[in-house]
Amino acid sequence: MSDSVLLARAFHYACKCHAQQKRKGAAGEPYVNHLADVARRVAEATNGTDINLIAAALLHDTIEDVGVSRDDLVIAFGEDVAALVVEVSDDKRLDKAERKRLQVVNAAGKSDRAKMLKLADKASNVRAMVVSPPGWPDRRKRDYADWAEAVAAGLRGVNETLEVELDAALEALRAHYR
Ligand code: ZN
């Protein structure tokens, strides 16, 4: 499969999987906007050198949010893309607090590519909270920023650009809700 075919297929697959989902923010954007944002961030931060990582960014919530299986992704996109998506997916059998705790604990043990994807994901989510705030109390937004920063602590050292983007987004969020 050529790189452009892979990306077009991944984008189409993500659009189908997340067709009914919207972002939590006030603008109620289509969920796929987040996937495109994460894919753009990893693509730019790696100068477009890792096509499978960009495809995995488009697909990164298909297992967690839609119940797509690892095998489905292997068949459609190959082992490498599927493994990346698995690596950034939480285990939905656990409760939310435990999943959030494990993200902090497990971050440092991820592969460098999964770390980049997770950094881009956190930057996208934190930035979205500034641009299109969810109807959360300020306290909850501050807690989210603290948690995202704790996860990111284990993700640092693999990509300077993504770290700078995340730090800028965290600063912007905290400026709103200090
Ligand atoms: Zn995400």
Identify the band that residue 52 occupies on the pLDDT scale cut at 50, 70 and 90.
very high
**129 CA from centroid of ligand 1 (Å):** 13
* CB-count burial class (<10 Å; 0-12, 13-18, 19+) for 68: buried
Examine the pLDDT at 59 and tell me if it is beyond 90.
yes
**How high is the pLDDT of residue 178?**
66
The owner of tokens 């641009």 is 131
**How high is the pLDDT of residue 41?**
98
- Distance, in Å, from the CA atom of 39 to the CA atom of 54, rounded to the nearest integer, reads 5
Maximal C-alpha separation, the chain: 49
The catalytic site residues sit at 64-65
**How high is the pLDDT of residue 26?**
87
Which residue from 74, 163, 81, 78 is spatially nearest to 118, judged by alpha carbons? Answer: 163
Convert the pLDDT of each residue in 137-178 to its tens digit. 989 999 999 999 999 999 999 999 999 999 999 999 999 876
- Distance, in Å, from the CA atom of 128 to the CA atom of 122, rounded to the nearest integer, reads 10
Compute the average pLDDT of residues 14-33. Answer: 94
**112 CA from centroid of ligand 1 (Å):** 17
**117 CA from centroid of ligand 1 (Å):** 9
Compute the average pLDDT of residues 29-42. Answer: 97
Q: Which amino acid is at 120?
A: A
Could you tell me the CATH number of the domain that includes residue 125? 1.10.3210.10
**How high is the pLDDT of residue 69?**
97
**How high is the pLDDT of residue 174?**
92
**Domain range enclosing 118:** 3-176
Convert the pLDDT of each residue in 74-132 to its tens digit. 999 999 999 999 999 999 899 999 999 999 999 999 999 999 999 999 999 999 999 99
Under a CB-based contact definition with an 8 Å cutoff, are residues 175 and 129 in contact? no
**121 CA from centroid of ligand 1 (Å):** 5
Q: Structural domain tally of the chain?
A: 1
Identify the band that residue 18 occupies on the pLDDT scale cut at 50, 70 and 90.
very high
Helix (H, G, I), strand (E, B) or coil at 93: coil
- Distance, in Å, from the CA atom of 132 to the CA atom of 44, rounded to the nearest integer, reads 23
Q: Output the pTM of the full model.
A: 0.96
Residues 6+ apart with CB under 8 A from 2: none
